[in-house]
Structure 1
Amino acid sequence: MKKRSGLYPRVRVEGGGRGVVSQAGSVLLVETVRKSGLDTAISAALTPWRKPRAVHDPSKILLDVALAVALGGDCLADVGMLRAEPDVFGPVASDPTVSRLLDALAVSGPKALAAIRAARSQARERVWEVAGASSPAADGQVTVYIDGVLVLAHSEKQDATATWKKTFGHHPLMGFVDHGSGGSGEPVVGLLRPGNAGSVRHEVAQFE
Protein backbone atom coordinates (compact mmCIF):
# COMPACT_ATOMS: atom_id res chain seq x y z
CA MET A 1 0.00 0.00 0.00
CA LYS A 2 1.12 3.56 -0.55
CA LYS A 3 0.11 7.04 0.48
CA ARG A 4 1.66 10.22 -0.85
CA SER A 5 3.73 11.97 1.83
CA GLY A 6 6.34 14.56 0.92
CA LEU A 7 8.46 13.88 -2.14
CA TYR A 8 7.94 10.09 -2.07
CA PRO A 9 4.98 7.75 -1.52
CA ARG A 10 4.74 6.21 1.93
CA VAL A 11 4.90 2.44 1.43
CA ARG A 12 3.56 -0.20 3.81
CA VAL A 13 4.23 -3.92 3.49
CA GLU A 14 1.36 -6.38 3.95
CA GLY A 15 1.54 -10.17 3.96
CA GLY A 16 -1.69 -10.69 2.02
CA GLY A 17 -0.89 -8.42 -0.91
CA ARG A 18 -0.59 -9.53 -4.52
CA GLY A 19 1.56 -6.76 -5.95
CA VAL A 20 5.31 -7.30 -6.27
CA VAL A 21 7.84 -4.55 -6.95
CA SER A 22 11.54 -4.63 -7.70
CA GLN A 23 14.06 -2.52 -5.75
CA ALA A 24 11.86 -2.89 -2.66
CA GLY A 25 14.92 -2.65 -0.41
CA SER A 26 15.33 0.95 -1.52
CA VAL A 27 12.32 1.81 0.66
CA LEU A 28 14.82 1.89 3.53
CA LEU A 29 16.74 4.63 1.72
CA VAL A 30 13.57 6.56 0.96
CA GLU A 31 12.51 6.38 4.60
CA THR A 32 15.98 7.53 5.67
CA VAL A 33 15.58 10.58 3.44
CA ARG A 34 12.18 11.27 5.01
CA LYS A 35 13.11 10.66 8.66
CA SER A 36 16.31 12.70 8.44
CA GLY A 37 14.45 15.63 6.90
CA LEU A 38 16.84 15.65 3.94
CA ASP A 39 13.93 15.92 1.50
CA THR A 40 12.54 19.12 3.02
CA ALA A 41 16.00 20.60 3.66
CA ILE A 42 17.22 20.11 0.11
CA SER A 43 13.88 21.20 -1.33
CA ALA A 44 14.23 24.54 0.46
CA ALA A 45 17.90 24.83 -0.51
CA LEU A 46 17.21 24.31 -4.22
CA THR A 47 14.26 26.71 -4.42
CA PRO A 48 16.31 29.19 -6.54
CA TRP A 49 16.68 26.50 -9.22
CA ARG A 50 12.98 25.66 -9.45
CA LYS A 51 11.44 27.22 -12.55
CA PRO A 52 7.90 28.65 -12.49
CA ARG A 53 5.26 26.01 -13.29
CA ALA A 54 7.87 23.25 -13.05
CA VAL A 55 6.31 19.80 -12.64
CA HIS A 56 9.25 18.21 -10.80
CA ASP A 57 10.88 19.61 -7.66
CA PRO A 58 14.67 19.96 -8.25
CA SER A 59 15.29 18.26 -4.91
CA LYS A 60 13.25 15.20 -5.96
CA ILE A 61 15.24 14.97 -9.20
CA LEU A 62 18.56 15.16 -7.37
CA LEU A 63 17.49 12.64 -4.73
CA ASP A 64 16.27 10.29 -7.46
CA VAL A 65 19.72 10.43 -9.08
CA ALA A 66 21.32 9.65 -5.70
CA LEU A 67 18.95 6.70 -5.19
CA ALA A 68 19.75 5.38 -8.66
CA VAL A 69 23.48 5.51 -7.86
CA ALA A 70 22.87 3.70 -4.55
CA LEU A 71 21.01 0.99 -6.47
CA GLY A 72 23.96 0.42 -8.78
CA GLY A 73 23.42 3.02 -11.49
CA ASP A 74 26.41 4.71 -13.10
CA CYS A 75 24.80 7.27 -15.42
CA LEU A 76 21.89 9.73 -15.31
CA ALA A 77 19.73 7.50 -17.52
CA ASP A 78 19.70 4.89 -14.74
CA VAL A 79 16.94 6.87 -12.99
CA GLY A 80 14.82 4.80 -15.37
CA MET A 81 14.87 1.97 -12.80
CA LEU A 82 13.02 4.31 -10.42
CA ARG A 83 10.63 5.45 -13.14
CA ALA A 84 9.58 1.82 -13.58
CA GLU A 85 8.27 1.68 -9.98
CA PRO A 86 6.02 4.73 -9.45
CA ASP A 87 4.34 3.11 -6.42
CA VAL A 88 7.68 3.15 -4.61
CA PHE A 89 9.37 6.29 -5.95
CA GLY A 90 6.47 8.44 -7.20
CA PRO A 91 6.77 10.52 -10.37
CA VAL A 92 10.31 10.52 -11.78
CA ALA A 93 11.51 13.19 -14.21
CA SER A 94 12.40 12.37 -17.80
CA ASP A 95 16.04 11.97 -18.82
CA PRO A 96 16.13 15.40 -20.54
CA THR A 97 14.68 17.07 -17.43
CA VAL A 98 17.30 15.40 -15.23
CA SER A 99 20.07 16.53 -17.57
CA ARG A 100 18.80 20.12 -17.69
CA LEU A 101 18.78 20.37 -13.89
CA LEU A 102 22.30 18.97 -13.56
CA ASP A 103 23.48 21.42 -16.23
CA ALA A 104 21.84 24.32 -14.37
CA LEU A 105 23.44 23.29 -11.08
CA ALA A 106 26.82 22.89 -12.78
CA VAL A 107 26.57 26.41 -14.22
CA SER A 108 25.88 27.77 -10.73
CA GLY A 109 28.96 25.93 -9.47
CA PRO A 110 29.94 26.88 -5.89
CA LYS A 111 26.53 28.41 -5.15
CA ALA A 112 24.72 25.15 -5.91
CA LEU A 113 27.28 23.07 -4.03
CA ALA A 114 26.98 25.33 -0.99
CA ALA A 115 23.19 24.95 -1.01
CA ILE A 116 23.36 21.16 -1.26
CA ARG A 117 26.03 20.90 1.44
CA ALA A 118 24.00 23.11 3.78
CA ALA A 119 20.97 20.84 3.33
CA ARG A 120 23.04 17.73 4.02
CA SER A 121 24.56 19.38 7.10
CA GLN A 122 21.11 20.24 8.41
CA ALA A 123 19.90 16.65 7.96
CA ARG A 124 23.06 15.23 9.54
CA GLU A 125 22.69 17.52 12.57
CA ARG A 126 19.11 16.33 13.04
CA VAL A 127 20.11 12.66 12.85
CA TRP A 128 22.99 13.10 15.29
CA GLU A 129 20.71 14.90 17.73
CA VAL A 130 18.18 12.06 17.55
CA ALA A 131 21.00 9.52 18.05
CA GLY A 132 21.82 11.13 21.39
CA ALA A 133 24.47 9.10 23.24
CA SER A 134 25.01 6.98 20.11
CA SER A 135 25.99 10.01 18.05
CA PRO A 136 29.61 10.08 16.82
CA ALA A 137 29.87 13.54 18.44
CA ALA A 138 28.37 12.51 21.78
CA ASP A 139 31.65 13.01 23.64
CA GLY A 140 32.31 16.38 22.03
CA GLN A 141 34.84 14.96 19.60
CA VAL A 142 34.46 13.67 16.03
CA THR A 143 36.95 11.22 14.50
CA VAL A 144 37.33 11.24 10.70
CA TYR A 145 39.21 8.55 8.80
CA ILE A 146 40.75 9.71 5.51
CA ASP A 147 41.51 7.17 2.81
CA GLY A 148 41.74 6.75 -0.96
CA VAL A 149 39.21 4.58 -2.82
CA LEU A 150 39.52 3.40 -6.42
CA VAL A 151 36.40 3.92 -8.55
CA LEU A 152 36.37 2.25 -11.97
CA ALA A 153 35.16 4.06 -15.09
CA HIS A 154 34.07 2.38 -18.31
CA SER A 155 34.70 5.35 -20.58
CA GLU A 156 36.83 8.50 -20.92
CA LYS A 157 35.13 10.43 -18.12
CA GLN A 158 36.71 13.59 -16.72
CA ASP A 159 40.13 12.85 -15.13
CA ALA A 160 39.72 9.09 -15.59
CA THR A 161 43.16 7.55 -16.07
CA ALA A 162 45.00 4.26 -15.58
CA THR A 163 45.28 3.40 -11.88
CA TRP A 164 48.13 1.87 -9.91
CA LYS A 165 46.16 -1.40 -9.82
CA LYS A 166 46.20 -1.57 -13.64
CA THR A 167 42.53 -0.62 -13.86
CA PHE A 168 40.99 2.58 -15.29
CA GLY A 169 39.06 5.27 -13.47
CA HIS A 170 39.38 7.65 -10.51
CA HIS A 171 41.17 7.61 -7.15
CA PRO A 172 39.06 9.92 -4.95
CA LEU A 173 40.07 10.83 -1.42
CA MET A 174 37.28 10.10 1.05
CA GLY A 175 36.56 11.06 4.64
CA PHE A 176 34.47 8.80 6.92
CA VAL A 177 33.18 9.71 10.39
CA ASP A 178 33.86 6.94 12.88
CA HIS A 179 30.71 5.53 14.48
CA GLY A 180 32.62 3.09 16.65
CA SER A 181 31.15 0.09 14.83
CA GLY A 182 34.38 -1.10 13.23
CA GLY A 183 33.10 -0.42 9.71
CA SER A 184 34.07 2.29 7.24
CA GLY A 185 31.80 4.79 8.99
CA GLU A 186 29.66 7.62 7.63
CA PRO A 187 30.98 9.21 4.40
CA VAL A 188 31.03 12.98 4.85
CA VAL A 189 33.44 14.37 2.27
CA GLY A 190 35.12 13.37 -0.98
CA LEU A 191 37.70 14.85 -3.31
CA LEU A 192 37.65 13.59 -6.90
CA ARG A 193 41.16 12.79 -8.14
CA PRO A 194 42.45 11.20 -11.36
CA GLY A 195 43.10 7.48 -11.35
CA ASN A 196 46.87 7.94 -11.34
CA ALA A 197 46.83 10.02 -8.13
CA GLY A 198 49.19 8.59 -5.54
CA SER A 199 47.99 6.13 -2.93
CA VAL A 200 47.13 7.51 0.50
CA ARG A 201 47.94 5.74 3.73
CA HIS A 202 45.14 5.54 6.27
CA GLU A 203 44.97 8.84 8.17
CA VAL A 204 42.93 9.81 11.22
CA ALA A 205 41.82 13.33 12.10
CA GLN A 206 39.96 14.39 15.24
CA PHE A 207 37.80 17.49 15.69
CA GLU A 208 36.18 19.00 18.76
Structure 2
Amino acid sequence: MQPRAVRLVQLSRVRYAELLALQERWLRRLQPEPGTEALSGTEAGALLLCEPAGPVYTAGLRGGLTPEEAARLRALGAEVRATGRGGLATFHGPGQLLCHPVLDLRRLGLRLRTHVAALEACAVRLCELRGLSGARARPPPYTGVRCGRHITSHGLALNCSTDLTWFEHIVPCGLVGTGVTSLSEELQRHVTVDEVIPLFLEAFKETYKCSLISEDSPN
Protein backbone atom coordinates (compact mmCIF):
# COMPACT_ATOMS: atom_id res chain seq x y z
CA MET A 1 0.00 0.00 0.00
CA GLN A 2 1.31 3.45 -0.92
CA PRO A 3 2.12 5.50 2.21
CA ARG A 4 -0.04 8.48 3.03
CA ALA A 5 1.41 11.86 2.13
CA VAL A 6 1.89 14.76 4.53
CA ARG A 7 2.57 18.31 3.32
CA LEU A 8 5.81 19.79 4.65
CA VAL A 9 5.56 23.53 5.33
CA GLN A 10 8.83 25.12 6.51
CA LEU A 11 8.50 28.70 7.72
CA SER A 12 12.05 29.52 8.93
CA ARG A 13 11.93 32.22 11.66
CA VAL A 14 8.41 33.56 12.22
CA ARG A 15 6.38 35.18 14.96
CA TYR A 16 4.48 32.64 17.02
CA ALA A 17 1.20 34.28 16.01
CA GLU A 18 1.94 33.45 12.35
CA LEU A 19 2.40 29.79 13.21
CA LEU A 20 -0.91 29.71 15.10
CA ALA A 21 -2.72 31.40 12.21
CA LEU A 22 -1.32 28.89 9.70
CA GLN A 23 -2.22 26.05 12.03
CA GLU A 24 -5.82 27.26 12.17
CA ARG A 25 -5.98 27.47 8.36
CA TRP A 26 -4.84 23.86 8.08
CA LEU A 27 -7.36 22.77 10.71
CA ARG A 28 -10.12 24.35 8.64
CA ARG A 29 -8.74 22.67 5.52
CA LEU A 30 -8.95 19.27 7.22
CA GLN A 31 -12.49 20.04 8.37
CA PRO A 32 -13.77 21.84 5.26
CA GLU A 33 -17.10 23.60 5.03
CA PRO A 34 -19.20 23.00 1.91
CA GLY A 35 -17.65 24.72 -1.10
CA THR A 36 -14.17 25.04 0.40
CA GLU A 37 -10.98 23.29 -0.68
CA ALA A 38 -10.31 19.88 0.86
CA LEU A 39 -7.26 17.68 0.79
CA SER A 40 -6.82 15.02 -1.84
CA GLY A 41 -7.60 11.46 -0.87
CA THR A 42 -3.93 10.55 -0.50
CA GLU A 43 -3.01 13.34 1.90
CA ALA A 44 -3.26 13.18 5.68
CA GLY A 45 -2.47 16.80 6.59
CA ALA A 46 0.56 18.99 7.09
CA LEU A 47 3.74 19.18 9.12
CA LEU A 48 4.46 22.81 10.06
CA LEU A 49 8.05 23.59 11.06
CA CYS A 50 9.47 26.89 12.23
CA GLU A 51 11.81 28.65 14.62
CA PRO A 52 10.17 31.35 16.78
CA ALA A 53 11.38 34.82 15.91
CA GLY A 54 11.07 36.10 19.48
CA PRO A 55 10.44 34.96 23.05
CA VAL A 56 6.88 33.94 23.91
CA TYR A 57 5.27 32.22 26.86
CA THR A 58 2.16 30.19 26.10
CA ALA A 59 -0.57 28.81 28.33
CA GLY A 60 -2.81 25.89 27.41
CA LEU A 61 -6.44 25.18 28.17
CA ARG A 62 -5.61 24.40 31.79
CA GLY A 63 -4.23 27.91 32.22
CA GLY A 64 -1.21 28.10 34.46
CA LEU A 65 -0.64 31.87 34.37
CA THR A 66 -2.44 34.45 36.49
CA PRO A 67 -2.84 38.01 35.13
CA GLU A 68 -0.07 39.11 37.52
CA GLU A 69 2.27 36.37 36.28
CA ALA A 70 1.51 37.26 32.66
CA ALA A 71 2.35 40.91 33.35
CA ARG A 72 5.63 39.88 35.00
CA LEU A 73 6.60 37.80 31.96
CA ARG A 74 5.73 40.60 29.53
CA ALA A 75 7.99 42.91 31.56
CA LEU A 76 10.86 40.55 30.67
CA GLY A 77 10.33 41.39 27.00
CA ALA A 78 8.34 38.30 26.01
CA GLU A 79 4.91 37.84 24.48
CA VAL A 80 2.31 35.94 26.49
CA ARG A 81 -0.35 34.05 24.54
CA ALA A 82 -3.23 31.73 25.37
CA THR A 83 -3.45 28.72 23.05
CA GLY A 84 -5.92 25.92 22.35
CA ARG A 85 -3.55 23.11 23.31
CA GLY A 86 -3.69 21.06 26.47
CA GLY A 87 -1.22 21.49 29.29
CA LEU A 88 0.13 24.40 31.30
CA ALA A 89 2.58 27.23 30.63
CA THR A 90 5.75 26.80 28.61
CA PHE A 91 8.25 28.89 26.64
CA HIS A 92 9.07 29.16 22.93
CA GLY A 93 11.86 31.22 21.44
CA PRO A 94 14.81 31.52 19.06
CA GLY A 95 16.99 28.42 18.85
CA GLN A 96 13.97 26.15 19.21
CA LEU A 97 12.45 23.88 16.57
CA LEU A 98 8.65 24.00 16.67
CA CYS A 99 6.92 21.06 14.99
CA HIS A 100 3.16 21.24 14.56
CA PRO A 101 1.67 18.30 12.64
CA VAL A 102 -1.95 19.05 11.71
CA LEU A 103 -3.18 15.58 10.85
CA ASP A 104 -6.30 13.56 10.16
CA LEU A 105 -5.52 10.53 12.30
CA ARG A 106 -8.09 8.40 10.46
CA ARG A 107 -6.16 8.77 7.19
CA LEU A 108 -3.00 7.62 8.94
CA GLY A 109 -4.76 4.78 10.75
CA LEU A 110 -3.65 6.11 14.15
CA ARG A 111 -5.34 6.42 17.52
CA LEU A 112 -4.69 9.61 19.52
CA ARG A 113 -2.41 7.99 22.08
CA THR A 114 -0.48 6.24 19.31
CA HIS A 115 0.01 9.59 17.57
CA VAL A 116 1.32 11.23 20.74
CA ALA A 117 3.72 8.33 21.30
CA ALA A 118 4.87 8.56 17.67
CA LEU A 119 5.59 12.28 17.95
CA GLU A 120 7.58 11.71 21.12
CA ALA A 121 9.40 8.87 19.35
CA CYS A 122 10.43 11.34 16.62
CA ALA A 123 12.14 13.55 19.19
CA VAL A 124 13.85 10.56 20.81
CA ARG A 125 14.97 9.25 17.42
CA LEU A 126 16.39 12.65 16.49
CA CYS A 127 18.41 12.67 19.72
CA GLU A 128 19.68 9.20 18.89
CA LEU A 129 20.73 10.35 15.43
CA ARG A 130 22.72 13.16 17.12
CA GLY A 131 24.46 10.64 19.39
CA LEU A 132 22.29 11.05 22.52
CA SER A 133 21.34 7.45 23.14
CA GLY A 134 19.94 8.10 26.63
CA ALA A 135 16.99 10.25 25.49
CA ARG A 136 13.57 9.04 26.72
CA ALA A 137 9.97 10.25 26.47
CA ARG A 138 8.02 10.87 29.66
CA PRO A 139 5.09 8.54 30.34
CA PRO A 140 1.46 9.77 30.54
CA PRO A 141 0.08 12.08 31.86
CA TYR A 142 2.95 14.44 30.97
CA THR A 143 1.46 15.49 27.64
CA GLY A 144 -1.14 18.04 26.59
CA VAL A 145 -3.11 17.25 23.44
CA ARG A 146 -5.45 19.16 21.15
CA CYS A 147 -7.75 16.96 19.07
CA GLY A 148 -11.24 17.29 17.63
CA ARG A 149 -13.13 15.03 15.21
CA HIS A 150 -9.95 12.95 14.70
CA ILE A 151 -8.01 16.07 13.65
CA THR A 152 -5.03 16.81 15.88
CA SER A 153 -2.63 19.75 16.05
CA HIS A 154 -0.63 18.47 19.01
CA GLY A 155 2.98 19.51 18.52
CA LEU A 156 6.38 19.55 20.14
CA ALA A 157 9.20 22.00 20.77
CA LEU A 158 12.81 20.86 20.64
CA ASN A 159 15.44 23.06 22.26
CA CYS A 160 18.44 23.25 19.96
CA SER A 161 20.31 26.39 21.07
CA THR A 162 17.53 28.00 23.10
CA ASP A 163 18.42 30.43 25.88
CA LEU A 164 17.31 28.21 28.76
CA THR A 165 17.20 31.06 31.28
CA TRP A 166 13.75 31.97 29.93
CA PHE A 167 12.42 28.77 31.52
CA GLU A 168 13.56 29.91 34.97
CA HIS A 169 10.65 32.35 35.20
CA ILE A 170 7.95 29.64 35.03
CA VAL A 171 7.35 26.02 36.03
CA PRO A 172 7.59 24.56 32.50
CA CYS A 173 4.43 22.58 31.70
CA GLY A 174 3.70 22.44 35.43
CA LEU A 175 6.46 19.85 35.98
CA VAL A 176 7.78 20.79 39.41
CA GLY A 177 11.40 19.82 40.04
CA THR A 178 12.08 18.95 36.40
CA GLY A 179 14.88 20.71 34.57
CA VAL A 180 15.04 21.88 30.96
CA THR A 181 17.91 21.16 28.61
CA SER A 182 18.86 21.52 24.94
CA LEU A 183 20.83 19.70 22.29
CA SER A 184 23.56 22.34 22.57
CA GLU A 185 23.75 21.79 26.32
CA GLU A 186 23.88 18.01 26.04
CA LEU A 187 26.34 17.88 23.13
CA GLN A 188 28.47 20.75 24.49
CA ARG A 189 28.50 22.58 21.15
CA HIS A 190 26.25 25.02 19.32
CA VAL A 191 23.44 23.12 17.54
CA THR A 192 21.25 25.13 15.18
CA VAL A 193 17.65 24.53 14.20
CA ASP A 194 18.68 24.18 10.54
CA GLU A 195 21.11 21.41 11.50
CA VAL A 196 18.46 19.21 13.12
CA ILE A 197 15.58 19.69 10.66
CA PRO A 198 16.79 17.02 8.18
CA LEU A 199 17.20 14.56 11.05
CA PHE A 200 13.74 15.34 12.38
CA LEU A 201 12.20 14.83 8.95
CA GLU A 202 13.98 11.49 8.65
CA ALA A 203 12.63 10.47 12.05
CA PHE A 204 9.11 11.69 11.18
CA LYS A 205 8.90 9.69 7.95
CA GLU A 206 10.33 6.63 9.66
CA THR A 207 7.96 6.82 12.64
CA TYR A 208 4.76 7.77 10.79
CA LYS A 209 5.50 5.63 7.73
CA CYS A 210 4.48 8.49 5.45
CA SER A 211 5.94 10.49 2.58
CA LEU A 212 6.52 14.26 2.79
CA ILE A 213 5.53 16.68 0.02
CA SER A 214 7.43 19.97 0.21
CA GLU A 215 5.37 23.11 -0.14
CA ASP A 216 7.04 26.37 -1.15
CA SER A 217 4.47 28.69 0.37
CA PRO A 218 1.81 28.28 3.09
CA ASN A 219 -1.80 27.67 1.99
Same fold (TM over 0.5): no
Larger radius of gyration: 1
Tell me which protein shows more strand as a share of its residues.
2
More helix as a share of residues: 1
Higher RCO structure (Cα 8 Å, ≥6 apart): 2
